Amino acid sequence: MSNNLFISYDLNSPHQDYDAIIEVIKSLGPWASVQKSLWYVSSDKSAEQAAVIISEKMDANDSLIVMDTKSNNAYWFNISEEVAKHIQEHWHN
């Protein structure tokens, strides 16, 4: 059963290895590059599993959100508390 993942990231350190991030995203399943830092992937991985895999290639100050539109779930790393709270308050409304 494939999940519909939308993956968005910001790499905030100088001299980031974008190729490593892109390759790990592509490894998750059939993919499409929607925008520079927004990808669609059809994957057997959950949003959380994909986020953990991708985050291993990122620096501590980079940010990431993975949204699964099939299960209506999301998982993120290093987004502001204000934004995380807003998402949590409004996600299932």
Residue 84 has pLDDT above 70, yes or no: yes
Position 23 scores a pLDDT of: 97
Mind listing the pLDDT tens digit for each residue in 41-72? Answer: 999 999 999 999 999 999 889 999 999 999 99
Gap between the Cα atoms of 44 and 53, Å rounded: 13
Per residue, what are the HEC states of the chain?
CCEEEEEEEECCCCCCCHHHHHHHHHCCCCEEEEECCEEEEEECCCHHHHHHHHHCCCCCCCEEEEEECCCCEEEEECCCHHHHHHHHHHCCC
- The pTM assigned to this predicted structure is 0.92
Instruction: State how many domains the chain has.
Output: 1
With cut-offs at 50, 70 and 90, classify the pLDDT of residue 14.
Answer: confident
Position 92 scores a pLDDT of: 79
CATH code: domain of residue 27: 3.30.70
Boundaries of domain holding 29:
3-90
